[in-house]
Each structure stands twice: as structure tokens, then as C-alpha cells.
Amino acid sequence: MEGHWLTQRLRGWGERPALIWRNHPWSYDQLCDATEIWRAELARRGIEPGTSLAICGDYSPKLCALLLAALLNRNIIVPLASATARQWDHMMDVAQVKAAVAFDNQDVWQFNNFALSTTHPLLRQLAERDAPGLILFSSGSTGESKAALLDLNKLLSKFQSSRPAYRTLVFLLLDHIGGINTLFHVLCHGGTIVTSGDRNPDAICAAVDAHQIQLLPTTPTFLRMLLIAEAIKRHDLSSLEIVTYGTEPMPASTLAAVREALPWVRLKQTYGLSELGILPTQSQSSNSLWLKLGHAGFEHRIVDGVLWIRSETAMLGYLNAPSPFDADRWFNTQDLVEVDGEYLRILGRRSELINIGGEKVHPTEIEDVLLQLDNVKDVTVSGKHSPITGQIVAAKITPLRPEDPELLRRRVRRFCQERLERYKMPAVIEIVGDDHHSARFKKSRKAIVEC
């Protein structure tokens, strides 16, 4: 594993456990040995530097070792999670994948070669740098998934400095910038990655209990699921030191409830995008939605209430969409923010803003109110076209327990009358039984039904 700073770093951790998979530990030495075996396998199969390699599956020892081998082989890595298996063929075509290795839930792998050649100018540009790459696909919540191409060496550079090592439960998938960031953050600092067979509340809490997890990176949606399922009460979570949350705005009511349930845990809000990487952040406190964005490799500015960021780790561009950067490489995140001195509060996407006769309302404000109502499991609010006011507020509500839909609608209206201005009140209320989140446990607004 010569030639890369990561080589010496990982070997230096020796017999320390690198990951625990199916309750079986793998040391850093074992992981490095497996990485060397994969490097030989890639060479044997003619997978040259600069070509795209799809790695399909979820966290497992051999998969993680292949990911490291592909990095050291200077391949362009395309991580594809099991949850998106139906889209793999299309994603591989966009990424001009030369070969794919698919892992099952027993860590057994299958290798497939493809005849695709590397023709995209951005892929060729990265290959000419002789640098490893990473292709991440967006969730596709506003249309077709965009394929962002990043320089993996640049993404990893921030991990060269020494930081605390934590026993971390990996929750965010490897096809997400948060999952990639978690994986390398843990490995580069000598921590331990712990996997869970399932991603439901009881399985996650049981893993925290059994493996004395210190750090849990997750989403606001999943934290609310933990509270509703009361899984926190059935397991010993006293080992937890930090819970980080991101990918979507956190409802204030959910944050307060998590703080009450886990008073000893430090709650930290994270912020990042596939196009830019993960920014350094500092929450004002564990019970605050205000955060400070760090400047190590990042710059930010606010234009008309919208957050713009310039990043040293920014992607080269999209493989299947025009460049989103301006002439000076600033990126419009489309996230609306409030500002208080050095601190920001993320309100949500500008495209989701509801315009009611000139009054602007963000869905998260209304969702936060409705989530406080008894027997509400989840809520998704959106704007619905109105010929009179331009838009009206529409709410999709999933009850926790069966309830007569009309009675629930009446309760919602009474509850809102006491807490919201009249124009913010939901004019359309749809009672449904399905979940509102994607496989990434992020609220899926594209699933809202026009009613």
C-alpha cells in the first residue's frame, strides 16, 4: 500500500479493530492485508488507473477493503447502495463504468466487466491528474439523479490532521457524501466502524448498546423514528457521546425531544453537499438549530437570504448536467438561511418555499407545528396551486395509530388555529399510511400527492 499517506496511517493502527461486521471484528492489519489482495485482483483483471469502478452493496469488510484498493489504484469509484439496485444499470452507464463488483449480505462478491470506454471530458480530466475519483448520485428529489464527480484526494486531505477516534455506528449509506465522510473520518483517525444488520430503531439502539457506540451520525427523520418507537427506553445508550444530524432541516420540536431523551449526549448539526464535501460546523449548543460554518477549505456568503459556498474540495462538475458554478466557482446551495452574527439557521430549499398571495412560508415551519400534535407520526407540507392566491398549503399526514380521517383533520385545523397565522394553515389535508422518507431516511418531498 505504498505511495499514499493513507497507507502508513492505516498500517500504524495495527491490531486495533477497524470495523465490526456481524459482531466479528476486523483489525486494521486485516483490512490492509485484504486491500493488498484486492489491488492484485484489480491488476489481474486489467482495471487500470483512471477507469470507473462500481462498488455495489453496503458496509462489509471486503467491500471496504476494495474501496481502499480502488483509491490506491487511482480508480474513479462509484459506490452504489443496495437500496438503489433498480437504478444501477442507468447509473453505471452515466458513470461509464469499466467494471462492477457487487457484494451480497454475506460479503460474497461477483465481478462484472463492461465494454464502456472513458470518453467524458471530466472523467478524462481527472484521469490526467492521476488522482482517484468519486462519483456520487443525488437523491433525485427534484428530477433525474445528478452524477457529481469529485477528486477523492482532495476530499481526504482534511483527514491528515489528527483528531479523536470514536467507535462509530455507520448509518448513512456509502452512496451518500455523509457515508463516505464517516467511513474515512473513522479509519483515518483509528476509530472503529460498527455496522447494523438493519436500520430500524430497535436494531440501531441494540447495536449502540452491544458495541458501546460513542458516535451516531444520522438524520432528523430517523431521530424522530427513534422517539416514536421508544427504542431509546428499551436499550442502554449510555455509551453515546455525540449524535450528529444533517441532510435535511431539523424540526425544533424533534431536537427538543431528542435533547430530553438523551440529555448527556452532545448533539451536533452537520452540513454538506455531494457537490462540495462536508463543511466543518459548530452548533451553538445541543438544543440550538443555529450553527457556525468553518472556513478550513471553505468560504460562504449569503445572497438574498440564500447560502452560497466556494470549496477547495468542490466537484469537477456533473457528468449528466450543466455546471452549477458561477465564473468564480461559487455554488448556490439553494438553501434559505437566517443569520445571527456568526451563526446561521438552515430553513430549507428555496424551491420548496410556498407563496401564498405574496406571503412566503417554508414547509418546515408548518411541519414543526403539526409534529407536536398527538397521534401524528410524520408530516410533509408543500405548496399546491391555487387560482386565487397562487398557492395554498397542503399537508400529508401519517397518523401513529388508526384514527378516523375526518376527526384527525378537525383536530389538525383546531391545533393550527391556535398556533399559526391564518394564511399558513393547511387548506388541504391528506391522511395517508405510508412513510415520507427515502432509503436515506431523508424526507422525500417528491412523493407528495397532489390532492
pLDDT tens digits, 32-61: 999 999 999 999 999 999 999 999 999 999
| Beta-strand pair 343-349/354-356 | unpaired
**pLDDT tens digits for range 236-279:** 999 999 999 988 889 999 999 999 999 999 999 999 999 999 99
Side-chain-side CA neighbours of 236 within 13 Å: the count stands at 6
State the DSSP H helix or E strand holding residue 368, giving kind and residue range, or none if neither.
helix 363-370
- Give the largest CA-CA distance in the chain: 69
In one letter, which amino acid is 204?
A: I
93, 116 Cβ separation under 8 angstroms: yes
Instruction: Compute the mean pLDDT over every residue in the chain, rounded to the nearest whole number.
Output: 91
**pLDDT tens digits for range 276-300:** 999 999 999 999 999 999 888 899 9
DSSP one-letter code for 12: T
Vertex 294 angle, CA 296 and 269, to 5°: 130
Whether pLDDT at 206 is above 90: yes
The pLDDT of residue 357 is: 85
In whole angstroms, what is the distance from residue 242 CA to residue 415 CA? 34
- Residue 129's φ and ψ, nearest 5 degrees, are -75, -15
- Residue 163's φ and ψ, nearest 5 degrees, are -140, 165
216, 186 Cβ separation under 8 angstroms: no
Percentage of residues in the chain with pLDDT exceeding 90? Answer: 73
Q: With 0.75 as the threshold, say if the pTM is over it.
A: yes
Cross-strand partners of 242: 215, 266
Handedness of CA 290, 395, 332, 312 (dihedral sign): positive
The pLDDT of residue 450 is: 40
C-alpha cell at 223: 431521530
What domains, with CATH codes, occur in the chain?
Answer: 5-11+24-151 (3.40.50.980), 196-349 (3.40.50.12780), 353-447 (3.30.300.30)
